[in-house]
Amino acid sequence: MRKAVGCMVLFSVILAAMAFFACATEYIEVYSQTVPYTKLYADQILVGGFVAGCFGDKWDATAGDLTLSFTYDATGLVDDFGGAAHAWAELGVRDTLTGSNFNPGPGNGVWLATDYDWSANTFDPDPAGSPIQDLDDKLLLQRTGGLGESSYDVPGAPPNPWANHGFWFDRDGVDPWQAGSPLAIDGASYNTGGIYDIEILIHALDMTNGTAVMTINGLSQGFETDGDWQTVEMAPAGVTFTCDLETLQVFFGLYGYGAMHAAAFRDITVDGHLKVMRLVRAPSGLIVVAAGAQGYLDQEAPDVAGGGGAVGELEIAAVYVVGETISGCVFVCATDGEPLTHAYFPLTFYAVALGEDFDTRQALFARTLGCWGEPGYFCFDIDTGDLDPGYYDIRLGFPDGEVGWLRVEIVAAE
């Protein structure tokens, strides 16, 4: 049985909210919150030259720790020419106070920064039958471009930043004596093949200050303090950083010269709290949760306050580049706050042809939204990788019989 809802209408919300519904009723409240959420992003294959970008979601680390995990594939970097050709790759989080997606600091975030030995052919295999430890790939955290091991300050400043563990990695083998060290892990610190599983844990100290620590192939970074290279003392080691920790976006980039370099970030996953906005409407007690001020979705339409302007019969709710994922979330509960967990409702996705008098839609697919995770939350992801640039509509059939329409634009990558 549906529970009744008492309402006190906030009229300032009605006009802004009517764009989302073909048949809007009354809106009683709008406020921001965060949603516990785990999201897998599309793989990023970076080739350059220079290439950089970011995902549109906003994450709030002040609501709880944020974990960013991914696999870094460095096998496309060029080492044939020594210092005449080199490249660096980055992946991390930055706030929305900057639009830079490569070295966005200082004061704007924290990220994995990669490097490798400058010797020509450093990635070449060891001589047959004579494996030996060598320094191929270097991985570290940065809060400002150009910083190195000496910038690490968690759990404290290392007495000798160059005496460290978990910063340099060997793509092939080591000799038997080196392999005997308890800190030498086959497939993790050596014999990596240039592939690295990264996890960055971000913890907010307050709204603008945080710490970050990183593991690489399951190994923590640390520093040597007692001279015994069979052990590691200052670990896990990391960095402090500053930024707006309420509006973090995942960014990525590659900068290289002297050759055509490639780096890949795969299985990019964020586990944290998604920054959202909540609209509450009567009389049904349906609560709609949306990431971004435009409602429902994880991105906003640019340039026009409150939306992207009318295109055909509807306002543009958000704009995506081909290959980005359209993400949205709906929270359903009664007015007593009890979340629904056994409700289901349909989502239909349409391609739109704009007409002079009316628009026509072609249904591409339909799916049923259910509550698969946090009680009350009905979330969806739509992959745009196989879609052509153009306009698309999302139809949400809410449990109270209302229907909501959202129009998105998909544009070609630059």
Q: Is residue 118 part of a domain?
A: yes
CATH number at residue 309: 2.60.40.1930
Contact in structure between 53 and 251 (CB atoms under 8 Å) = yes
Q: Are residues 181 and 330 in the same domain?
A: no
Q: Are residues 187 and 290 in the same domain?
A: no
Distance from chain centroid for Cα 283: 36
| β-sheet bridge partners, residue 333 | 339
Half-sphere exposure of 193 (CA within 13 A, CB side): 7
DSSP strand pairing (403-411 vs 314-321): parallel
At which of 272, 293, 320 does a domain end? 272
Give pLDDT tens digits for 227-270. Answer: 999 999 999 999 999 999 999 999 999 999 999 999 999 999 99
Q: Is residue 278 part of a domain?
A: no
Tens digit of pLDDT per residue, the chain (414 long)? 222 222 222 222 222 232 333 223 333 333 346 778 888 998 999 999 999 999 888 899 999 999 999 999 999 999 999 999 999 999 999 999 998 999 998 999 999 999 999 999 999 999 988 898 888 999 999 999 999 999 999 999 999 999 999 999 999 999 998 898 999 999 999 999 999 999 999 999 999 999 999 999 999 999 999 999 999 999 999 999 999 999 999 999 999 999 999 999 999 999 999 876 444 333 334 444 433 323 445 554 443 323 334 567 777 877 888 988 887 777 666 555 566 677 778 899 999 998 888 889 999 999 988 877 677 777 788 999 999 999 999 888 876 666 778 888 899 987
Give pLDDT tens digits for 90-105. Answer: 999 999 999 899 999 8
Q: In this structure, what DSSP letter does residue 20 have?
A: T
Which residues lie closer than 8 Å to 139 by C-beta, 6 or more apart?
72, 112, 113, 114, 115, 167, 169, 196, 198, 214, 216
At which of 249, 272, 295 does a domain end? 272
| Helix and strand counts by DSSP (H, E) for the chain | 2, 25
> Radius of gyration over alpha carbons of the chain, in Å?
25
Q: Are residues 106 and 21 in the same domain?
A: no
Q: Is residue 59 part of a domain?
A: yes
Q: Are residues 267 and 334 in the same domain?
A: no
Residue 241: give the domain boundaries: 37-272
Q: Are residues 213 and 294 in the same domain?
A: no
Interior/surface letters 144-181, b for 16+ CB within 10 angstroms, e for the rest: bbebebebbebeeebeeeebbbbbbbbbbbbeeebeee
Q: Are residues 180 and 291 in the same domain?
A: no
239 conformational bin, left if phi > 0, alpha if psi -120 to 50, beta if neither: beta
Task: Estimate the share of the chain in helix, then strand, then coil, as percent rounded to the nearest 5.
Answer: 5, 45, 50
Give pLDDT tens digits for 154-203. Answer: 999 999 999 999 999 999 999 998 898 999 999 999 999 999 999 999 99
Q: Is residue 267 part of a domain?
A: yes
Q: Are residues 206 and 298 in the same domain?
A: no
Q: Are residues 66 and 189 in the same domain?
A: yes
Q: Is residue 251 part of a domain?
A: yes
Contact in structure between 46 and 75 (CB atoms under 8 Å) = no
Q: Is residue 323 part of a domain?
A: yes
CATH number at residue 80: 2.60.120
Q: Are residues 60 and 106 in the same domain?
A: yes
- 150: helix, coil or strand? helix
Q: Are residues 96 and 226 in the same domain?
A: yes
The count of structural domains within the chain is: 2
What is the three-state SS of 234-282? ECCCEEEEECCCCCEEEEEEEEEECCCEEEEEEEEEEEEEEEEEEEEEE
Q: Are residues 110 and 228 in the same domain?
A: yes
83 conformational bin, left if phi > 0, alpha if psi -120 to 50, beta if neither: alpha
Q: Are residues 231 and 348 in the same domain?
A: no
Of 251, 219, 216, 256, residue with least CA distance to 235 = 219
At which of 229, 252, 272 does a domain end? 272
Q: Is the pTM of this model over 0.75?
A: no
**Dist CA 318 CA 328 (whole Å):** 11
Q: Is residue 230 part of a domain?
A: yes
Q: Is residue 3 part of a domain?
A: no
